[in-house]
Amino acid sequence: MTKAHWERLYASKAPDALSWTAPHLDDSLAYIGRTGAVPDAAIVDVGGGEATLVDDLLDAGYRRLTVLDISETALAVCRARLGERAAGVTWLAADVLSHAFEPRSVDLWHDRAVFHFLTDERERERYVAQVLRALKPGGHAIVGAFGPQGPLQCSGLPVARYSSDALHDAFGARFRLLDHRTTLHTTPWGATQQFVYCYCRLEH
């Protein structure tokens, strides 16, 4: 994943021209609700870009939200949409694989659209190491990725596809699988894409 690629993409397309756009991330919100996270829980949305999850979490009363995306353009769109409420969110224009997360600083890690772009095993290992660094023991990770019948490419890049078992296995035994779900996402132009979600807790 290169920053230049994503900056070009977000600069050239409106939000409703991006395949992953959805009015609300209902599956993600349902899992976040199940964590029992309190309003001051530290939540990071990885690859949040222009997604509406931060809007809905603010509406739900969460106060310690971080949106991380490699694209400054995408974050700017989200901040503009939120207006004054954007001041209550931490915005990180960074690569998740190299960002210096504070150890054990995150209660809930959410990613709906980044992990499946990591087609190199070493990148996946670096990603998991970042989650292990950032997440508090007992914290939750909610990760969505393309399912076995999902697309082979997205935004001009190859992607990896996962069954729920394979997605959980990529993270390892320290992550206790609490639930998984296979869903169909409808793109803004009416096509469907299969997604798999894994909802896990980091064991002590």
Residue 110 forms part of a structural domain: yes
Structurally, the chain folds into a number of domains equal to: 1
Each residue's pLDDT, cut to its tens digit, for the chain (204 residues) gives: 577 766 776 666 666 655 556 778 999 999 999 999 999 999 999 999 888 999 999 999 999 999 999 999 999 999 999 999 999 999 999 999 999 999 999 999 999 989 999 999 999 999 999 999 999 999 999 999 999 999 888 877 899 999 999 999 999 999 999 999 999 878 766 778 899 999 999 997
Residue 14 forms part of a structural domain: no
- What CATH number corresponds to the domain at position 105? 3.40.50.150
Residue 23 forms part of a structural domain: no
- Kindly report the number of other CB atoms within 10 A of residue 197's CB atom: 21
Sign of CA dihedral 130, 204, 140, 20: positive
Residue 22 forms part of a structural domain: no
Q: What are the beta bridge partners of residue 79?
A: none
Contact assessment for residue 195 and residue 145, using Cβ atoms and an 8 Å cutoff = yes
Structural domain harbouring 87: 3-8+32-202
Residue 18 forms part of a structural domain: no
> CA nearest 98: which of 72, 133, 139?
133
For the whole model, what pTM was predicted? Answer: 0.93
Residue 141 forms part of a structural domain: yes
Residue 27 forms part of a structural domain: no
Residue 19 forms part of a structural domain: no
d(CA 156, CA 150): 15
